[in-house]
């Protein structure tokens, strides 16, 4: 099946790249649109040599995945990953009720965008927990909410974003 499809792809590639018909405006415009579409779709239409290289690269990748025990398997049309996903460290957000609710919402949105579950811990009236957070995060009471990953403090929203951009958040979540 693949060789037949490659022949069709090669024939269509020749049709859109040959100069035949370029002197006629309606043909030239259609061929130009087809070339642009081909590029936008990742060049599925290509010369035989390029298609052969791509097929060889796919086969090589499959063999490497089999050799390393990585990759994916297909069962009943559903792809299942065989790679084990590293489990993220627990993420806890310490906050005080009614204090910086907007920043708490932004923290929750940022963590949700990274598909990270977090546990929200209200320290209102819990002096021991509040003292722990202020001591570990080296912050003041008005700087809550504070994000902790594992047992270490990351900080507020701004520090969370900085840690994400710098890669420190990933290191804290997955080790390394």
pLDDT tens track for 78-123: 555 555 557 888 999 999 988 888 999 999 999 999 888 899 999 8
- Which residues, at least 6 apart from 53, have a Cβ–Cβ distance to it below 8 Å? none
Q: Which residue has the tokens 């990742």?
A: 42
What would the mean pLDDT of 130-138 be, rounded to a whole number? Answer: 90
pLDDT tens track for 38-75: 888 888 999 999 888 888 888 888 888 887 665 555 55
Task: Pick the closest to residue 85 from 42, 41, 116 (CA basis).
Answer: 116
Query: Could you tell me the two tokens for 106?
Result: 């932004």
Rounded to whole angstroms, the Cα distance separating 82 from 69 reads 8
Beta bridge partners of 119: 92
Per-domain residue ranges of the chain: 2-81, 91-174
Report which secondary-structure segment, H or E, holds 59: helix 48-68
> Which fold, 91-174?
Glutaredoxin (3.40.30)
| Radius of gyration of the chain measured on its C-alpha atoms | 27
């Amino acid at each position: 099946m693949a060789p037949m499809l490659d022949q069709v792809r090669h024939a269509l590639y020749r049709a859109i790249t040959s100069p035949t018909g370029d002197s006629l405006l309606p043909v030239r415009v259609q061929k130009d649109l087809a070339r642009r579409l081909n590029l936008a779709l990742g060049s599925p239409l290509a010369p035989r040599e390029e298609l052969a290289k791509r097929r060889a690269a796919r086969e090589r990748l499959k063999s490497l995945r089999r050799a390393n025990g990585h990759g994916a398997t297909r069962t009943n049309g559903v792809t299942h990953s065989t790679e084990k996903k590293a489990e993220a460290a627990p993420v806890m957000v310490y906050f005080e009720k009614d204090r910086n609710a907007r920043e708490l919402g932004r923290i929750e949105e940022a963590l949700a965008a990274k598909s990270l579950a977090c546990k929200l811990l209200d320290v209102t009236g819990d002096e021991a927990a509040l003292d722990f957070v202020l001591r570990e995060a080296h912050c003041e009471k008005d700087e809550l909410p504070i994000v902790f990953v594992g047992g270490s403090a990351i900080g507020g929203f701004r520090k969370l974003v900085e840690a994400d951009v710098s890669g420190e958040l990933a290191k804290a979540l997955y080790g390394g």
